[in-house]
């Protein structure tokens, strides 16, 4: 079973080109399923059927797993079953006609436009730290990128002439995201007046650096946004992802179509990614300019 699982993961990595995190998720889910089968003395995938899968889902439910977790496990098993069929390890897919458990979708916690303005106004406009922090907050809200993507940016990923940033996701796939005028002004100020002072080595590639002159870390940025939340006296728990949710919500509220927003966010779902490829790049910029509050 382990050999077949390794072949499946290899297929996901090299043929479907999934990210490292997604691969780990698949591997963890299928390993748990194999452990469940082994405990019941099922040593061949040919012995599994629809009842086996349903029993496993009920087992997860009894263990107190969330509906979303159970749904993800079923999706992993379904993909694994498709692979087993394609490799002739099984003759019938046991997941056919199995319904995914319905989970209650909770709206993401977002900031109002006033709260965004308040948060982004907290960094002072004089110190190197304040100018840097202002640029980071404006960029995060302007693009909806993840904090990991923010701190991974190199200065070469900027194109301020045509107002875009180039962002590499966890799966190493590149996406181009429009940059609003407010973020552009803040970044230009940072590049002109701060970055050259903060960096210690001319060869430093990182766009945003700390006082040691090296690339800012995720933990470092979390502390920064927490301090400005407290300073602004916003009575909400704000994380870098809150700005990402706010970015998407405000775009949609202002008329952006969902698929363009999904492209800018860079979601990793393969079916959604295929839809993204149908959207022309110039349409994305047009949508952004019309819908983003700070464009």
For 128-166, the pLDDT digits (tens) are 999 999 999 999 999 888 898 999 999 999 999 999 999
The Cα–Cα gap between 7 and 5 comes to 5
Band of residue 102 on the pLDDT scale cut at 50, 70, 90 = low
Angle formed at CA 228 by CA 226 and CA 233, multiple of 5 degrees? 100
How large a percentage of the chain has pLDDT more than 90? 40
| Number of CB atoms found within 10 A of residue 20's CB | 11
Q: Do residues 274 and 16 lie in contact, with contact meaning Cβ atoms separated by under 8 Å?
A: no
The radius of gyration of the chain from alpha carbons, rounded to an integer in Å, stands at: 23
**Fold annotation for 2-86:** DNA polymerase; domain 1 (1.10.150)
- Domain map (residue ranges) of the chain: 2-86, 113-291
Q: Which CATH superfamily is domain 113-291 in?
A: Intergrase catalytic core (1.10.443.10)
CB-based contacts of 203, cutoff 8 Å, min separation 6: none
Q: Do residues 5 and 31 lie in contact, with contact meaning Cβ atoms separated by under 8 Å?
A: yes
The Cα–Cα gap between 196 and 126 comes to 15
The Cα–Cα gap between 201 and 196 comes to 9
Band of residue 287 on the pLDDT scale cut at 50, 70, 90 = low
111-146 burial: b if 16+ Cβ within 10 Å, else e: beeebbebbbebbeeeeeeebbbbbbbbbbbbbbbb
Q: Is 121 helix (H, G, I), strand (E, B) or coil?
A: coil
Mean pLDDT of the chain: 84
The widest CA-to-CA distance across the chain, in whole angstroms, is 69
Q: Dump pLDDT digits (tens) for 163-203.
A: 999 987 665 578 889 898 999 999 999 999 999 999 988 89
């Amino acid at each position: 079973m382990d050999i077949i699982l390794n072949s499946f993961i290899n297929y996901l990595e090299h043929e479907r080109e999934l990210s490292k995190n997604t691969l780990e998720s698949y591997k963890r889910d299928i390993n748990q399923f194999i452990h469940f089968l082994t405990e019941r003395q099922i040593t061949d995938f040919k012995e599994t059927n629809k009842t086996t899968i349903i029993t496993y889902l009920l087992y997860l439910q009894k263990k107190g797993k969330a509906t979303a977790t159970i749904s993800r496990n079923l999706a992993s098993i379904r993909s694994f079953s498709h692979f087993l069929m394609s490799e002739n390890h099984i003759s019938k897919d046991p997941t056919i006609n199995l319904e995914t458990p319905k989970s209650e979708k909770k709206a993401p916690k977002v900031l109002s436009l006033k709260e965004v303005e308040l948060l982004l106004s907290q960094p002072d406009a004089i110190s190197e730290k304040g100018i840097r922090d202002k640029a980071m907050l404006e960029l995060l809200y302007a693009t909806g990128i993840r904090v990991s993507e923010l701190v991974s940016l190199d200065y070469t990923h900027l194109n301020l002439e045509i107002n875009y940033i180039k962002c590499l996701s966890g799966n190493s796939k590149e996406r181009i995201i429009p940059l609003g005028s407010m973020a552009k002004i803040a970044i230009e100020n940072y590049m002109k007046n701060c970055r050259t002072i903060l960096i210690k080595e001319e060869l430093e590639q990182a766009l945003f650096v700390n006082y040691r002159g090296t690339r800012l870390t995720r933990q470092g940025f979390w502390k920064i946004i927490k301090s400005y939340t407290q300073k602004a006296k916003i009575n909400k728990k704000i994380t870098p992802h809150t700005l990402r949710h706010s970015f998407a919500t405000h775009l949609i509220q202002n008329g952006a179509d969902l698929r363009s927003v999904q492209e800018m966010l860079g979601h990793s779902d393969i079916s959604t990614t295929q839809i993204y490829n149908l959207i022309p790049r110039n349409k994305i910029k047009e949508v952004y300019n019309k819908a983003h509050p700070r464009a």
